[in-house]
Structure 1
Amino acid sequence: MSDLQWKKLEILGAGSYGTVYLGILVDEQIRFHSFIAVKSSIPKLAFSLKKEEQIFKSVWEGESGGCQEIIQCFGSETTVEHGRCFYNLFLEYAPHGSLADLIHKKPLPETEVSVYARMIVKGLSHIHRKGIVHCDLKPENILVFPSLDKEIANYQLKIADFGLSKTKEEEVNVELWKSKPRGTPSYLSPEAFSGHIDAPMDIWALGCIVIEMLTGLPAWGESPLLIEELRYLVEHHELSPKKPQEIGFFCHDFLEKCFMKDPSKRWTADRLLDHPFLYITLFHSYYLATWL
């Protein structure tokens, strides 16, 4: 539970669980930013929010501490409004919206994509070490914050929305996950369609996001595909999203590593952290020398 003093402002969005509000902290002595995002739901629909709070606790606990590529959770509180009970989850407010908003303005240059991909991989590395699989990694679930270093990037990206995530304690249910794959269809990996949910599926989704950042369009094309169409392409034809033509060697190779059909051969987040594509604007000479 939280002891934050706050007020609810405007609606930012809504989902199957409830509504996201912009909130403001009343206590000016608090060490967090003045604005917060508040996910609010009636108790009977609050399961995913409560699960998300537990995941945030897991992400931020331990000797390694937190991760600046994962949004912070400030706790939760149950309130009564107009005679109705609500469960409220307090999160960092992203003043620049989501990565989807950024991409839809215009495609991003490869050098910028490299920096943002590195941020996402760092976040994935952190949660995967904790035994957490995001399961719904997509631009809408990556939030955009002011840059921590303007010389490196225009913005700071942080992974959010862990409502569908799988924890290491969760019981495996292959048949259920096969009949109803977890996540957004156009970002699902081949094994996810077969009911196998593990860290490699987040890496496949990462590859889709990199293509989307480069082109401004979804990895599988502008026209949305039905889940059965995607299942047919990925499972039976062993296809992966088409890579943009005008990309550099290291970007192409990075995508190859993300789209390995066999999840056991697909590169892990920890291994991708050493890939030279993530460093084409940083330590250029050093990383290329160690790679070649």
Structure 2
Amino acid sequence: MFLTFTTTNHSKHEKLLVPLYFMLQHNNTPIKGGVYHQRSIDHSFIIMERYKFLEELGDGTCGSVYKAVNLETYEVVAVKKMKRKFYYWEECMNLREVKALRKLNHPHIIKLKEIAREHNELFFIFECMDHNLYQIMKEREQRPFSEGEIRSFMSQMLQGLSHMHKNGYFHRDLKPENLLVTNNILKIADFGLAREVASMPPYTEYVSTRWYRAPEVLLQSSSYTPAVDMWAVGAILAELFAFSPLFPGESEIDQLYKICSVLGKPDWTTFPEAKSISRIMSISHTEFPQTRIADLLPNASPEAIDLITRLCSWDPLKRPTADEALNHPFFNVI
């Protein structure tokens, strides 16, 4: 027998499955923010029997993702099996990914449909998407996106980010692999590193794939803001034009060098962490082969170049918010 947990922040069709025997061991205490509905379920509802696993879609540090089909409804889903064991239900509900996705409900944020815990193993069941943005770029090879296509992808990502930031979370791991696409509809996924805006620093220093990591994170700042997501947006926007990363650093130091080579040296009067860069790289005596963003992206419009330049600002305070970016002239070009 299972309990079905319906979150108050999701549609009436979204449920989280919680084993009844587990709840009985914990005094049957309801989870705050949700309502439990008890129903009898036979053995066919065991996760490995209720779903037929079709193929592995990816393998990460925290879990493996599989494409699966629900044998009752024939719905195709993505099942994320966490690698660590979970011995208490409270552990599951305290995961950042669970907290974030319970609160966030938006057309451009991936839907968490169910959570199931069996034999101390935790499974997330998500809606299934066809591709990620990285795969699409690889498949298209030398066929670049039109600016209209790029504008559509970026608008959808920024709408999802706006909802996320307004509801108190920033993602911290935006990259093409975590932007899922089906029929040109884009959704932000993988909230394993998501953090509440209101949470107190110090924050985790190592977040996001290096190429999309904001300078303040590279410099191990103990406090940062949703502006780290906006830097990643700028790097992704540039990559959609170039089909190659804007700052492809091979190490943290090389990453900073690549950024300096495009943006120039930071001004320590407006970006205090610049002193750390000077200390690490001795950039006060270094001449960088300056390469303008416009030269790197010859097929990008002046409006696109301006937006990338604003998003990839050394100073986090100068980067536009998601809503401000959506109001940029780049999105008004016909």
TM over 0.5, shorter chain? yes
Can you list the C-alpha shifts for 1:146-195, whole angstroms capped at 9, x where unaligned?
Answer: 2xxxxxxxx11110001011113533115xx4xx4311111111222232
Q: How far apart are 1:19 and its partner, in Å?
A: 1.2
**Superposition pairs of residues 32-71 of structure 1, within 5 angstroms:** 34-44=75-85, 50-60=95-105, 67-71=106-110
Q: In structure 2, what residue type is equivalent to 1:242?
A: I
Task: Verify: 1:93 aligned to 2:142, yes or no.
Answer: no
Match of 1:72 in 2: 111
Q: Distance in 1 between matches of 2:100 and 2:165?
A: 12
Alignment partner for residue 110 of structure 1, among 129, 138, 147?
147
SS at match of 1:264: helix
Higher gyration radius (CA): 2
Q: In structure 2, what residue type is equivalent to 1:215?
A: A
Task: Verify: 1:242 aligned to 2:278, yes or no.
Answer: no
Q: In structure 2, what residue type is equivalent to 1:92?
A: E
Q: How many matched pairs?
A: 252
| 8 Å Cα contact 1:56/1:72 also seen in 2 | yes
CA spacing shift, 1:249–1:234, aligned 2, 3 Å: closer
| 8 Å Cα contact 1:254/1:275 also seen in 2 | yes
Q: In structure 1, what residue type is equivalent to 2:80?
A: K
Alignment partner for residue 231 of structure 1, among 241, 256, 274?
256
SS at match of 1:24: strand
Identity %: 27
Q: Distance in 2 between matches of 1:214 and 1:188?
A: 19
CA spacing shift, 1:103–1:256, aligned 2, 3 Å: same
CA spacing shift, 1:171–1:118, aligned 2, 3 Å: same
| 8 Å Cα contact 2:52/2:71 also seen in 1 | no
Match of 2:202 in 1: 173
Can you list the C-alpha shifts for 1:73-97, whole angstroms capped at 9, x where unaligned?
Answer: 11200123xxxx31001111112x1
SS at match of 1:44: coil
Instruction: Note the residue ranges of structure 2 that are not aligned, 5 or more in a row.
Output: 6-15, 19-44, 267-289
| 8 Å Cα contact 1:49/1:89 also seen in 2 | no
Q: CA RMSD in A?
A: 2.6
Task: Verify: 1:203 aligned to 2:230, yes or no.
Answer: yes
Q: In structure 1, what residue type is equivalent to 2:101?
A: F
TM-score normalized by the length of structure 1: 0.78
SS at match of 1:53: helix
CA spacing shift, 1:87–1:98, aligned 2, 3 Å: same
Q: Distance in 1 between matches of 2:292 and 2:153?
A: 20
SS at match of 2:66: strand
Q: Distance in 1 between matches of 2:173 and 2:291?
A: 18
